[in-house]
Amino acid sequence: MKKSNPRHSGYVALLGRTNVGKSTFINALLRTKVAIVSNKPQTTRKRILAVKTSEQGQIIFFDCPGIHKPHFKLNDLMMKAVTDALFDADLVLYFIDLAFAREDDFIISLLEKAAKNVFLVINKIDKLNKGKVLEKIQHEKDIFPWREIVPISALKGDNLDVLEALIFKYLPEGENFFPDDTITQQSEKFFIGELIRENMLQWVEDELPFTTTIKIEEITERGEVTVVRAEIYVESSAQKKIVVGKKGAMIKQIGQQARQTLEGHFGKKVFLDLFVKIVPGWRNSSQVIHDILQ
Ligand SMILES: Nc1nc2c(ncn2[C@@H]2O[C@H](COP(=O)(O)OP(=O)(O)OP(=O)(O)O)[C@@H](O)[C@H]2O)c(=O)[nH]1
Ligand SMILES: [Mg+2]
Instruction: Give 25-49 as a DSSP string.
Output: HHHHHHTS--S---SSS----S-EE
What pLDDT sits at residue 104?
74
First to last CA, the chain: 48
Tell me: pLDDT of 65 over 90.
yes
pLDDT above 80: residue 156: yes
Residues 85 and 15 sit within 8 Å (Cβ to Cβ): yes
Residue 100 pLDDT greater than 70, yes or no: no
Q: Could you tell me how far CA 1 lies from the centroid of its own chain?
A: 43
Of ligand 1's listed atoms, the one at least distance from the Cα of 65 is 25
Rounded to whole angstroms, the Cα distance separating 74 from 246 reads 30
41-64 pLDDT tens trace: 999 999 999 999 999 999 999 999
Common-topology check for domains 8-170 and 188-293: no
| Residue 103, pLDDT above cutoff 70 | no
Answer whether residue 102 shows pLDDT above 70.
Answer: no
Residue 202 CB less than 6 A away from ligand 1: no
The alpha carbon of 22 and the centre of ligand 2 are apart by a number of angstroms equal to 5
Contacts of 97 (CB under 8 A, 6+ apart): 19, 20, 21, 122, 123, 124, 127
Q: State whether residue 86 is helix, strand or coil.
A: helix
Q: What architecture (CATH level 2) is domain 188-293?
A: 2-Layer Sandwich (3.30)
pLDDT in tens, 158-180: 999 999 999 999 999 999 999 99
Determine the Cα–Cα distance for residues 81 and 77; give it in Å rounded to an integer.
Answer: 6
Helices marked H in 33-142 — which ranges? 73-88, 104-114, 130-140
- pLDDT bin (cut points 50, 70, 90) of residue 219 is very high
Residue whose Cα lies nearest atom 2 of ligand 1: it is: 124
User: In which band, very low, low, confident or very high, does the pLDDT at 129 lie, cut at 50, 70 and 90?
Assistant: confident
What average pLDDT is seen over the chain?
95
Q: What is the pLDDT of residue 106?
A: 84
pLDDT cut 70: percent of the chain above it: 98
Which strands sit side by side in the sheet containing 269-278, from one edge to the other? Answer: 213-222, 225-234, 269-278
The fraction of the chain above a pLDDT of 90, given in percent, is 90
Determine which residue's CA is closest to atom 9 belonging to ligand 1.
Answer: 21
The answer to whether the predicted template modeling score (pTM) of the entire model surpasses 0.85 is yes
Which residue's CA is minimally distant from atom 13 of ligand 1?
21
Q: Which has more confidence, 134 or 104?
A: 134
Rounded CA-CA distance 25/33 in Å is 10
Q: What is the pLDDT of residues 19-35, one digit of tens each?
A: 999 999 999 999 999 99
Query: How does pLDDT run across 278-290, given as a tens digit for each residue?
Result: 999 999 999 999 9
Residues 261-280: pLDDT tens digits? 999 999 999 999 999 999 99
Rounded to whole angstroms, how far apart are CA atoms 29 and 26?
Answer: 5
- The band of 5, judged by pLDDT with boundaries at 50, 70 and 90, is confident
List the chain domain ranges: 8-170, 188-293
* Atom 30 (ligand 1) nearest CA: 124
Question: Which position has the higher pLDDT, 128 or 72?
Answer: 72
Supply the pLDDT for residue 1. 59
Distance 161 CA to ligand 2 centre (A): 21
pLDDT of residue 193: 98
Model pLDDT for residues 226-268, shown as the tens digit of each residue:
999 999 999 999 999 999 999 999 999 999 999 999 999 999 9
| CATH 3.40.50.300 applies to domain 8-170 | yes
CA dist 158 and 64 (Å) reads: 22
